[in-house]
Structures are given as structure tokens and as C-alpha cells.
């Protein structure tokens, strides 16, 4: 029985049944509103009154209907730009935000809702310069936003540093009627002229940190003028992504947080890795946080539960699905923290190659006497070292059990950075790997060891042919998985 790959449409509609339950203590902790910058208030009390006033306005409850204007509240013929502009103009009248927050522009909108950028124009020195407001319409989209809020609040409470900060957790609010789908007005006019609030039509909102430097996809746009980043910057990126993955696994960068479960992101890609400052040149490329947890899920106590698997196997963009998601016949179909590791490899590979997907081809990767099967990650044309290539192949291993752990990924990337900056030497194990590959990319490793160029080592990277290697897939008769879709189509036509 060969591996067959299914295809699906590109609809953004999502289903979120089967999320693991959490206990009452966790629920109480997760759902309480965030109070950002509490520690910084104590450091500078001169602006405390201004900051406190602004935060109080942000956290205000809905108490009355918004003022009306002469614009048609729900015009189905309004184009996207008009409805977005209307939403921004009406934001100043929200009950949950003060006049110190100025709506700037819409970052995106669709059936899932709308995302807007707000600028702080008040005098509070401890306030962020910008924040992001995510709004979802009533129904399943709001529940997805609530789920995202709960995960971000939990991670924040655990001390996570590489996940986007949440300033205000999920709350219901009255839409303004700028759009009939994602911003419906919940106010119903009665016969006597009074307005009645229909709570089922209220939208959901959360307030988040804004990444001033954009995302990795934005950094790719800058590359036309800048060329490829220095390899040490790529290792910095890997280091921060790995720390984020560790926080999803444990709650923070050090220890497991009691009572919490690992989180699987399911949508980690260049668009969802945010930069903390503008990418003026790649020497400043510093990842601040993982973002967009709308498709994430807690790992249940029984991850092999078929009902849960059915709810998560297609979460994420089609081109970025992990092997255990895309292939129902996968010999080790397990979801867990190592699922995030594959996504890290794909994210870095996509960032370097400007690629929107990996090729569906498997390779045997050999080091010493150990071999494992990995997805295609050829960095031809990209200046890189053997160690970077091998690390990405470890991240992209077909079986989760063959992937590198977040801890090892952090240690290795830190070791490389320390080596480049002359603070330490590479371990004998890593030097042994580097010695197998003498390419033009040895700017850090080769020059340090007196090596000057050479050719690619076939021992480190070769096509996987069934029968030639001990690293076999169980019950797999199609090795070039790119042919799986063609076979599936033929079988469907024959049926």
C-alpha cells in the first residue's frame, strides 16, 4: 500500500472541535485580562496617572450603543477599501479604547475578521507605540480568536519571551456595522425607537503586540537590494525560533510549567515569524516572537485520538503542512512538539529560498553510522555551511522521532554564534560533521580550520532509493512522493 497525498481546496473556513479540555484553575488563569507594562509603571511613576487612565479605557466594558452617523451601517455593495476605512473611522467610538489610540491602517481582512494597526498618541512613556487589534465576527471565527487568546495568555503567564505579547485578552464588543459579515452591528431598533443589544451578534476582539520590523516574508522583499543574509544571522533566526518552540512545549525557556500542555502551532511559516525592529540590513535581523496562533492546538492527553487528529490534520497553509499532516499513511503519524520543529526547518528553508513550498522528494541523510530520511532541502545557490544544511535536514526529517529537539537546536545555534564571534570553539562532534563538507560556504568553519573549498559530499546528502539504505520507510513503495498525487489521480479515474 503506497503513500497517497490528498488534496483540498484553499478555503480559509476552519473547524475547531476537539480542543483538549482545561481544568477550572487553568481556565480562570487564562481568561483574566492582561495588564501590560505593570512592572514599568513602578519604574516611572511620573506618567502613572496617564498610563493608568489609558489602560482603564482599554479595559472598559461595553455599556452603551455607539453613536450613529450618516453612513449606511450595513451596505452589502460596499467594496473592501470602503468598509475598511469605515471600520477605522468608527474605532474612535469604541467603548473599550481611549482617544489616545489612533487607528492607522488595516493590516488584513477576510471571512475570518479584520486586523488593524493602532498608534499610541498619548503621553504615557511606558505605553507601546503601536498595537494590533484583531476582530472576529460572531460564531466559529470568534471561538477561534478566543482559543488563540487563551493560548497567548497562558504563555504570557508562564513567562514566554518569544511569543507575541497579548495586551488585552478575548472580549466581546459591539461591532459598528461597517461590514455585514465581519463587523455587524448588534443593536436592534425597537418600535418605540429604543435600541436592544443582541448579544449573539457581538464581535470578538483581542489587543496584541505589533512587530515593528514586520515578518520574515517582509524581510524577503528587502532581499532584492540586500542579497543573502550572513549565515550567522540565519543561526540567530533558528535560535529564536527554537526558543519559541521550546516555550510552546514547556511554557517558558527553562522548565515545564505545571498543569499546562504543549501547544502545536500548525501555521508556523515566514508570514508568522515577526521581527522586533526594521530590517535595515540583515545584520539587524532579530526574531522577536512567534505570532498568529489562530490554528494552534493544545496537545491532548491522548494524541492518537482519531477525532482530534481529524480536526488538526489540515490546519495550516497547504504548502506548509508537515509530513504527518499531509500523508494519512505516514508510518509514524504523531503530532507533538516535534511537529513545530519541522515547521521551523520549513520556515528557514522558505526564508532562504523565497520558496512557498518544499519539493515532495525524500533523501537519505547520513552522518557517521546513523541515517535518517528527510524532505528535500537543497540549498543550492544559497551561501551556507554543511552544518546549516544538515541542521535543516534534521528539522525536516520525515519521521518526527528523527528530528532534532528544540533544546539541541538552541544549543547548536548558540554554539555557532559563539564560534563566529570568537567566544568559543565548536564541539568535536560538530567539527566532524563540518569536515565532511568542503563547499564555498565555509566562511566560518572552513577558514577557521584551514580548509579551502571543495565539492559537495555525497555522504551527507543523496537521493533515497528503497533497498540501498537501512533508513527505510515502513510499507512505502513510492519514494519520490511527488508522484503520489499523480497516482492518486489515476486511481480515482480508474474507480
Give average pLDDT by consecutive 10-residue segment, the chain, 495 residues. 30 40 45 38 33 34 40 50 90 84 89 90 89 93 93 88 89 91 88 87 92 57 58 86 90 70 86 40 51 88 90 84 85 90 88 69 70 72 77 90 94 87 73 51 29 34 49 40 41 51
Q: Dihedrals φ, ψ of 415, to 5°?
A: -65, -40
Instruction: Tell me how far apart the alpha carbons of residues 324 and 333 are, in angstroms, rounded to a whole number.
Output: 5
Cβ neighbours for 63, distance < 8 A, ≥ 6 positions apart: 95
In a domain? residue 3: no
Q: For residue 348, count other CB atoms closer than 10 A to its CB.
A: 25
In a domain? residue 223: yes
Burial 50-59 (b: 16+ CB within 10 A, else e): bbeebbebbb
Q: For residue 113, count other CB atoms closer than 10 A to its CB.
A: 23
Task: Detail the residues annotated as belonging to a binding site for ATP.
Answer: 134
Q: Which residue is associated with the grid cell 532534532?
A: 404
In a domain? residue 19: no
CATH of residue 353:
1.10.510.10
What was the pLDDT predicted at 218?
52
Task: Detail the residues annotated as belonging to a binding site.
Answer: 134
Q: For residue 14, how many C-alpha atoms fall within 13 Å in the half-sphere facing its CB?
A: 28
What was the pLDDT predicted at 219?
52
Range list of H helices, 354-483? 386-395, 406-420, 428-435, 445-448
What was the pLDDT predicted at 277?
34
In a domain? residue 495: no
Instruction: Tell me how far apart the alpha carbons of residues 392 and 155 are, in angstroms, rounded to a whole number.
Output: 27
**Of 175, 209, 243, which residue sits at a domain end?**
209
230 and 282 Cβ atoms separated by less than 8 Å: yes
Query: DSSP for 329-372?
Result: T-TT---SHHHHHHHHHHHHHHHHHT-SS--S-EEEEEETTEEE
Distances (CA, A) of 466 to 16, 103, 149, 482: 39, 58, 46, 15
Q: For residue 328, count other CB atoms closer than 10 A to its CB.
A: 13
Q: Dihedrals φ, ψ of 261, to 5°?
A: -115, 150
Instruction: Please check whether residues 379 and 337 belong to one and the same domain.
Output: yes
60 and 148 Cβ atoms separated by less than 8 Å: no
In a domain? residue 42: yes
* Nine-digit cell string for 476: 512505502
Instruction: Please check whether residues 273 and 225 belong to one and the same domain.
Output: yes
Domain count, the chain: 2
Question: Residue 192 sits in which domain range?
Answer: 31-209
Instruction: Please check whether residues 201 and 223 belong to one and the same domain.
Output: no
Instruction: Please check whether residues 71 and 106 belong to one and the same domain.
Output: yes
* Nine-digit cell string for 49: 496617572
Cβ neighbours for 310, distance < 8 A, ≥ 6 positions apart: 18
In a domain? residue 398: yes
Instruction: Please check whether residues 168 and 241 belong to one and the same domain.
Output: no
Range list of H helices, 354-399? 386-395
3-state DSSP percent of the chain in helix, strand and coil, to 5: 35, 15, 45
Q: For residue 41, count other CB atoms closer than 10 A to its CB.
A: 17
**Alpha-carbon dihedral angle through residues 243, 248, 251, 252, given to the nearest 10 degrees:** 10
Instruction: Tell me how far apart the alpha carbons of residues 264 and 74 are, in angstroms, rounded to a whole number.
Output: 38
* Nine-digit cell string for 246: 521550546
Instruction: Please check whether residues 259 and 120 belong to one and the same domain.
Output: no
Instruction: Tell me how far apart the alpha carbons of residues 161 and 247 are, in angstroms, rounded to a whole number.
Output: 8
| Neighbouring-strand partners of residue 374 | 363, 397
Q: Dihedrals φ, ψ of 113, to 5°?
A: 140, -145
Distances (CA, A) of 318 to 246, 267, 337, 373, 427: 24, 10, 20, 22, 38
Roughly what angle, to the nearest 10 degrees, separates helices 386-395 and 337-353? Answer: 140
Instruction: Please check whether residues 138 and 253 belong to one and the same domain.
Output: no
3-state class of 269 per DSSP? coil
Instruction: Please check whether residues 197 and 325 belong to one and the same domain.
Output: no
Instruction: Tell me how far apart the alpha carbons of residues 477 and 495 are, in angstroms, rounded to a whole number.
Output: 21
Instruction: Please check whether residues 130 and 154 belong to one and the same domain.
Output: yes
Instruction: Please check whether residues 221 and 118 belong to one and the same domain.
Output: no
DSSP tag of 191: T
What was the pLDDT predicted at 134?
94
Instruction: Tell me how far apart the alpha carbons of residues 145 and 152 are, in angstroms, rounded to a whole number.
Output: 11
3-state class of 189 per DSSP? strand
In a domain? residue 332: yes
In a domain? residue 2: no
What was the pLDDT predicted at 354?
67
Kindly report the pTM of this predicted structure.
0.70
* Nine-digit cell string for 43: 519604574
Instruction: Please check whether residues 114 and 67 belong to one and the same domain.
Output: yes
Instruction: Please check whether residues 472 and 342 belong to one and the same domain.
Output: yes
CATH of residue 53:
3.30.200.20
**Of 168, 189, 209, which residue sits at a domain end?**
209
Look at residues 262, 182, 234, 272 and name the one whose alpha carbon lies nearest to residue 441.
234
**Of 209, 227, 254, which residue sits at a domain end?**
209
Instruction: Tell me how far apart the alpha carbons of residues 322 and 398 are, in angstroms, rounded to a whole number.
Output: 9
What was the pLDDT predicted at 478?
30
Q: For residue 39, count other CB atoms closer than 10 A to its CB.
A: 8
Amino acid at each position: 500500500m503506497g503513500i497517497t497525498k490528498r488534496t483540498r481546496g484553499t478555503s480559509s473556513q476552519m473547524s475547531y472541535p476537539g480542543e483538549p479540555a482545561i481544568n477550572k484553575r487553568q481556565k480562570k488563569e487564562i481568561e483574566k485580562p492582561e495588564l501590560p507594562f505593570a512592572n514599568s509603571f513602578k519604574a516611572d511613576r511620573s506618567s502613572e496617572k496617564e498610563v493608568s487612565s489609558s489602560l482603564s479605557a482599554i479595559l472598559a466594558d461595553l455599556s452603551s450603543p455607539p453613536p450613529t452617523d450618516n453612513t449606511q451601517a450595513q451596505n452589502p455593495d460596499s467594496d473592501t477599501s470602503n468598509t475598511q476605512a469605515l471600520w477605522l473611522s468608527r474605532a474612535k467610538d469604541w467603548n473599550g479604547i481611549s482617544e489616545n489610540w489612533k487607528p492607522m491602517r488595516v493590516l488584513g481582512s477576510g471571512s475570518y475578521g479584520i486586523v488593524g494597526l493602532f498608534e499610541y498618541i498619548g503621553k504615557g512613556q511606558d505605553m507601546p507605540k503601536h498595537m494590533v487589534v484583531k476582530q472576529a465576527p460572531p460564531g466559529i471565527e470568534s471561538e477561534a480568536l478566543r482559543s488563540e487568546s487563551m493560548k497567548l495568555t497562558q504563555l504570557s503567564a508562564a513567562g514566554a519571551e518569544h511569543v507575541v505579547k497579548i495586551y488585552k485578552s478575548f472580549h466581546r464588543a459591539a461591532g459598528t456595522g461597517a461590514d455585514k459579515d465581519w463587523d455587524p452591528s448588534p443593536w436592534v431598533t425597537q418600535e418605540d425607537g429604543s435600541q436592544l443589544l443582541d448579544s449573539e451578534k457581538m464581535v470578538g476582539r483581542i489587543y496584541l503586540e505589533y512587530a515593528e520590523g514586520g515578518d520574515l516574508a517582509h524581510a524577503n522583499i528587502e532581499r532584492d537590494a540586500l542579497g543573502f543574509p550572513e549565515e550567522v544571522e540565519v543561526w540567530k533566526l533558528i535560535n529564536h525560533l527554537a526558543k519559541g518552540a521550546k516555550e510552546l512545549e514547556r511554557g517558558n525557556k527553562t522548565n515545564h510549567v505545571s498543569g499546562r500542555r504543549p501547544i502545536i502551532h500548525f501555521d508556523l511559516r515566514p508570514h508568522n515569524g515577526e521581527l522586533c525592529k526594521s530590517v535595515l540590513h540583515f545584520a539587524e535581523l532579530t526574531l522577536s516572537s512567534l505570532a498568529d496562533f489562530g490554528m494552534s492546538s493544545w496537545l491532548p492527553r491522548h494524541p492518537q485520538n482519531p477525532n482530534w487528529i481529524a480536526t488538526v490534520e489540515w490546519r495550516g497553509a497547504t504548502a506548509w503542512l508537515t509530513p504527518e499532516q499531509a500523508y494519512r499513511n505516514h508510518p509514524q503519524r504523531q503530532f507533538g512538539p516535534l511537529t513545530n520543529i519541522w515547521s521551523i526547518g520549513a520556515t528557514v528553508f522558505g526564508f532562504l529560498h523565497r520558496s512557498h513550498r518544499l519539493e515532495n522528494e525524500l533523501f537519505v541523510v547520513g552522518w557517521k553510522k546513523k541515517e535518517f530520511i528527510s524532505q528535500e532541502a537543497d540549498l543550492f545557490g544559497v551561501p551556507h555551511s554543511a552544518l546549516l544544511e544538515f541542521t535543516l535536514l534534521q528539522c525536516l526529517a520525515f519521521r518526527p522521532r528523527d528530528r532534532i529537539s528544540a533544546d539541541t537546536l538552541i544549543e547548536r545555534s548558540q554554539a555557532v554564534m559563539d564560534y563566529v564571534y570568537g567566544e568559543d570553539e565548536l564541539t568535536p562532534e560538530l567539527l566532524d560533521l563540518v569536515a565532511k563538507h568542503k563547499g564555498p560556504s565555509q566562511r566560518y568553519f572552513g577558514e577557521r580550520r584551514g580548509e579551502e573549498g571543495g565539492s559537495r559530499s555525497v555522504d551527507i546528502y543523496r537521493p533515497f532509493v528503497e533497498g540501498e539504505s537501512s533508513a527505510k520507510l515502513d510499507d512505502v513503495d513510492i519514494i519520490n512522493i511527488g508522484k503520489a498525487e499523480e497516482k492518486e489521480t489515476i486511481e480515482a479515474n480508474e474507480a
